[in-house]
Amino acid sequence: DIQMTQSPSSLSASVGDRVTITCQASQDISNNLNWYQQKPGKAPKLLIYDASNLETGVPSRFSGSGSGTDFTFTISSLQPEDIAAYYCQQYDYLPLTFGGGTKVEIK
Amino acid sequence: EVKLVESGGGLVKPGGSLRLSCAASGFTFSSYSMNWVRQAPGKGLEWVSSISASSSYIYYADSVKGRFTISRDNAKNSLYLRMNSLRAEDTAVYYCARDPEPNSSSWRLDYWGQGSLVTVSS
């Protein structure tokens, strides 16, 4: 199985800060990576697909980049409503696997 | 509006069985692959199973293979997960989720249900 290692596991930042989360795959997955946001008590929501494509309706402050084994998810200006856990997910090979998640909090 | 509503969760003893259902509305259910993803309490996401639009292709995580069966009834716009030989480690919220690519698989999950809690405990 492809292992997805996300870091950090949690972070605390101020409103307006730039937030960066990384996801590393255990092998080359090209750009076959998605990012999800999960707010407390809610289902996950797709934000970014194919590593860098913004899902329809998602604010432009969210972005993704990377290919191969190293990927980055960025919130350009953190907003209070962005408090959530964020997960990467690879789909290069089954089984689909998710990163361990990054919990984002407001400082 | 796309809507996915899971049901059928509950408390079951180890070794027991349960069937989850996911009622879909707001889209042509028969054209889309569907998935089950679970989340143990306080933990991350784990993909469980996928089924193609016509049920021709079915895939499982190793952790549930041989114990869980995914199925769908396109006439009833419903997805199912039959879970047998349940273990404590199967305790989780189970989500059904749609793949947005009609008659194919993009392996991204664009709509999710609210989840159904399955608790396996004696």
Task: Choose among B95, B108, B113: nearest Cβ to A46.
Answer: B108
pLDDT at B105 over 90: no
Q: What pLDDT does residue B12 have?
A: 98
Cβ contacts (< 8 Å) between B37 and chain A: which residues?
44
**Is residue B104 very low, low, confident or very high in pLDDT (cuts 50, 70, 90)?**
confident
For A42, which residue in chain B has the nearest alpha carbon? B114
For B62, which residue in chain A has the nearest alpha carbon? A95
pLDDT at A9 over 90: yes
> What is the β-pairing status of strands A53-54 and A45-49?
antiparallel
Cβ contacts (< 8 Å) between B46 and chain A: which residues?
98
> What is the β-pairing status of strands B10-12 and B116-120?
parallel
Q: What pLDDT does residue B119 have?
A: 98
**Calpha distance A35→A47 (Å, rounded):** 6
Query: Left, alpha or beta for A47 (phi > 0: left; psi -120 to 50: alpha)?
Result: alpha
Task: Choose among A32, A46, A94: nearest Cβ to B59.
Answer: A94
Residue A22 CB neighbours (<10 A): 16
Residue entry with tokens 């309706």: A57
Tokens at B54, concatenated = 């016509």
Q: What is the pLDDT of residues A35-85, one digit of tens each?
A: 999 999 999 999 999 999 999 999 999 999 999 999 999 999 999 999 999
